[in-house]
Amino acid sequence: MAKVKGAIVVDTEVCKGCEVCIPVCNDNVILMSKEVNRKGYHYAYMENPEACTGCTNCAIVCPDRAISVYRVKVST
């Protein structure tokens, strides 16, 4: 069965750390980093990259479109 694996890339300078992407992620992939960006905001990162399915939920609720999503099909 083909399995889907995904990944997100967060533009850390654009992210404003609003955390809207965290509750919409069904797989609990995203958390906020302890570090801050140049504006002083904590930015989103993949805490749990194995679980990401590339569903794009986080990216379409991101008001600043800081998240790009990648997805591949993996045959097992």
Judged by the rule CB under 8 A, the positions of this chain that interact with another protein are 5-7, 9, 14, 16-20, 22-24, 41, 49, 54, 56-57, 59-65, 67-72, 74
C-alpha closest to that of 41 among 65, 10, 18, 62: 18
Nearest residue (CB) to another protein, 34 versus 42: 42
Q: How far is the CB of 56 from another protein (least distance, A)?
A: 4
**Per-residue exposure over 34-62, b if at least 16 CB sit within 10 Å of its own CB, e if not:** eeebeeebbbbbbeeeeebbbbebbbeeb
Nearest residue (CB) to another protein, 27 versus 64: 64
